[in-house]
Amino acid sequence: MVSLAIRTCEHRLQRSLAWKLEGALDPDALEKCLKEIVRRHEALRTVFPLVGGKPMQYVNPADGFRLQIIDLRPLPEVRRQEECDRLIAEEARKPFNLNCGPVFRALLLRLAEEDQVLVLNVHHIVADGSR
């Protein structure tokens, strides 16, 4: 059983969501699932390069998505949550490049064998901004 705790952060023109996942997790299976979501939703692969000074819409191939994994388990236990919080804030502040993408990013922070945080970050240009 995986339990969730969700934290959101909106910064500039993007939305970051962080889920605390407790329980066994297969990072390869998670990446496969996220790749399938990206494959099915062209908006998550769309970029807006400038052509002749005007933005054009281009959909990147579906095979470019990667789940970034940072293993915090080697850190002393008392520092893991602090580093996790720092990395979540850093990801929320990281800008997007609309010319080449990606406009959707995923980060998995491993705190313990059955304790992880999944951070999803999407630019508002490809996501519904309603609450």
The domain locations on the chain are 3-126
Angstrom distance (rounded) from CA 131 to CA 113: 33
* 48 within 8 A of 59, measured Cβ to Cβ: no
**What is the CB neighbour count within 10 angstroms for residue 116?**
24
Predicted local confidence at residue 127, as pLDDT? 78
**pLDDT value at residue 13:** 74
Model confidence, pTM: 0.86
| pLDDT confidence of residue 7 | 41
Written as six digits, the tokens of 63 are 């095979």
- pLDDT for 54: 86
Mean pLDDT split into 10-residue runs, the chain, 131 residues: 37 79 96 96 92 90 94 96 95 89 95 96 78 51
The domain 3-126 is placed in CATH, from the list 3.30.559.10, 3.40.640.10, 3.40.50.150, 1.20.1050.10, at 3.30.559.10
